[in-house]
A = this chain, B = another copy of it.
């Protein structure tokens, strides 16, 4: 089989951005609509999101969270209640000014995020410590009127989940914030096969209104960083602004402590840019809409289609299976399902049937394994786990190969010279000035202060004053 069967996408080594755009379109994930930044999730792309949603939703429920649905509209006066928050979001909200032909008394925005709506509701329903914690989540779309847009990575409308919780104590709220970050991190590593770095955003990069913002950062194939999920601790700032109080166990009136956390369809961008290759998408088995595609070879020969159907029926109980018995050639089908990133392909032809076997081909490494039909379901399970592990290792190896320790801004510049993007580990004194200066001088921003700190040197990479924090720097999507 020729090395490259799909000729119609740009090579990722030539033009990564164009490769990305080609892939999302040719793999039938999306189509564009007539409004910039508002895209159409086609069945294959939406099925991917539904699989992600289902897995995460189960994890949220297991940790005691309940789903709700808040209105999509926020009155301007409500958005204005928390000062930092409105400053962060007002510049990029879509404003509704008319209902039918009548102007509205007060303009309303389409939610860019729903802290304000949750706070208004919590003020209504929280009275006593018995009402706490409140552990709510919602799956919805939000709108941010961005100038520059890109499918999955930066859309004007995107799908996400946003958890909003209220707690009796500061400690409990911080624990929740970190618990959710860890759920996101584990989901990325175990289900999406994307290694992530857990850390805290520097103050300049916090969510508007938060005391602390925690994040997971992933490295894409091209060495750039993707912020893949965030979890915020709000203290009682919003509770004060929205007058949310509860009577505590000592009968004292107090403000509860708050968190919010979210991941979005951006994760799909992360999957594409972490695992994809020059033949298209490569999907991690846990979320792939089709986990196994069965392709009959020499389908016109007696018994082939029947055997392929039997195999499909047998596997369907345990896996998401597609049998392609259309009249396209096997070669065309191989290319098509490689483009769509199906993790495992099974080829079955007359000679295989005669020998009681079939051929399994894993998408990411094209490894061919002949497998007995007698225990094929167990083999498929093993092969899919190989894919998952293989994807993770490949992504980790890429990240490790592209992570550099630097002691000076000069070193950073030299390391990244010639457009070799990657993660830089370097010390930081904690001043926003130095953060800005590193960006100016080297083109990389602070991604986070990783939980797992490494000691690179005793002084700040920028000002050479004493520094205790190791920061992860990089260029972000």
**A residues touching B (Cβ–Cβ < 8 Å)?**
31, 33-35, 38-43, 46-47, 49-50, 66-73, 75, 78, 90-101, 108, 110, 117, 120-121, 124-125, 136, 140-141, 143, 145, 156-157, 159
Contact = CB atoms under 8 A, between A and B. Distances in A.
* Count of identical protomers in the assembly: 2
A336 to B, nearest CB: 14
Contacts of A49: 69
Given A31-B125, A35-B73, A46-B67, A98 B97 contact: yes
19 contacts: A33-B117, A33-B120, A34-B78, A35-B73, A35-B108, A40-B69, A42-B68, A43-B66, A43-B67, A43-B136, A69-B159, A72-B143, A91-B101, A92-B100, A93-B99, A95-B97, A95-B98, A99-B156, A110-B110
Contacts of A117: 33, 40
A121 B46 contact: no
A75 B34 contact: yes
Which 4 A/B pairs are nearest by Cβ-Cβ distance? A99-B145, A38-B71, A43-B66, A41-B69
A34 B145 contact: no
A99 B35 CA distance: 12
Contacts of A35: 71, 73, 75, 108
A56 to B, nearest CB: 15
B94 A96 contact: yes
Contacts of A42: 68
A40 B70 contact: yes
Contact of A69 (B46, B70, B98): B46
Nearest to A136: B43
B99 A94 contact: yes
Contacts of A98: 94-95, 97
A323 to B, nearest CB: 16
Contact of A120 (B34, B39, B141): B34
A41 B114 CA distance: 14
